[in-house]
Chain A
Amino acid sequence: MGEKKKVVPFWGCMMPLKYPQMELAIRRTLPNIGIEIVDVDGFTCCPDPIYFKARDKMKWLTIAARNLAVAEEIGLDVITMCSGCISTLKEAQYLLDEDPKLKDEINKKLKKIDKEYKGTVSVKHAVVMIRDELGIDVVKKSLKKSLEGIKVGIHYGCHLLKPSQIMHVDDADYPNILEDLVMAIGATPVYQKESLLCCGKGCMDADIPLEMTEAIFVAIEESGADCMGLICPTCFSSFDLGQLMIARKKGKTFNIPVIYIFQLLGLAQGLTAEEVGLHKHRIKADKVLEKIV
């Protein structure tokens, strides 16, 4: 493989501070498909598009604009691996670019620390960069093991796709991007009818989020999938730990392993379960691992 594409990762909080196994999978797999990760100083929380934004939208926008300004100074493309981070950064860019007055107002605040949001940086989710800039074939070329026959129930969640006028990723009702990636990895994507349903995490109610998660796992079970393949760390907390909570509160056991798409890629690239951090999950993936040859 020739020159690697240098990109700056925007890690956010969930991956490095709650689910470092996801960060591990990214660090292990991206170099194998021609991406060089260039860590930089200066980022903060994106900030979180649910609770912090509910508290104060203008502060939310100010912090996001600062992160974008930091990225612009570096001059490399930025990737995020978290659906929450990409949601915040893309929406902030959209709002600042659509409203010059708002941009001026925010830039006045950034001026206090000698920063400015100009609107020149490209921020993409890693899966989008792989599809659009490297081409899905780089994934196929990086494989060492066969995941043939492993059925992956795909879960999109919300923020990777919606709103499509901002995210520019795929058809928000009939997306393909994750199915295509899972096929390139060599596994079999299976349709589950709640693949676009929200995990419910943002809903400030004691019962509704659990009901949503339950509906999703009923669908995964019906689909006959061996595991769930997902893309969002917030979904992950609802689904991995969430299955234990459903078992405790509702007496229903699913026991379906929840695997981040890049962990799946790592397994196909010949990494062990530990090397992609699968041993840190509550629901163990042994049955999936047995099928890898």
Chain B
Amino acid sequence: MNGDTAFHHGDAPAGAPIVEMKDIEKHFGNIIALAGVSFDVHPGECHCLLGDNGAGKSTFIKTMSGVHRPTRGEILFEGRPMSFNSPRDAMEAGIATVFQDLAMIPLMSVTRNFFMGREPTVGRGPFKRMDVDRMNAVTMERMREMGIALRAPDQAVGTLSGGERQTVAIARAVHFGAKVLILDEPTSALGVRQTSNVLATIDKVRKQGIGVVFISHNVRHALAVGDRFTVLNRGRTLGTAKRGEITPEALQDMMAGGQEMAQLEGSLGGTV
């Protein structure tokens, strides 16, 4: 299928992308999870990565966030080639990821989770300690901004609902000055109201000039906030479309594997 080039008419927004991924391949032993995927994100846009289960979405963003090293391909961060050895490297560069499996520890308090791995300290030498008061205050404040009332900053994350946990993770990424925020299926396990809250949060984050990569297999959720849409199928990109240039039906068909190519081409304006 050569849809890869054919659908690349969703021009990128003006300006340089923050992250550009070129022909990324990822093999796990003899499994080819990604067979050449290109993708970019610009500041202040929400670029949706769509695809059915097993399409390779999670694997792809894990190469972007330093969890996996790509087998082949190039990652440019602010125009420079980058190779991340760990999620920490990527995080320090400004790529924050809210993983599908969330990276939250239920037994730990919201504050401890919020600052996990990046605890602010006061004091020096052997008396260097976490700035607990500030950590608690920041956590309460950031969560309130996102519309979540914590009982106490030491409330265990395990007692929060799924949407609230997503929000903690997003708030954490924003607080630490992410330039790119990657959200892996943040809405897939949520109810209607919690989903709306998360989508509204994505919109807020984008308006702050952060580039958002929003992964979903739900077309309606993607269309609600997305600026551009890239569809992944069986480890390949089927194309990128801009907001307003594609109908939900066309996106849906593309995700299903492109069997309805003719119909899809029609809706894209017959440029193929």
Our verdict on whether A and B bind, yes or no, reads no
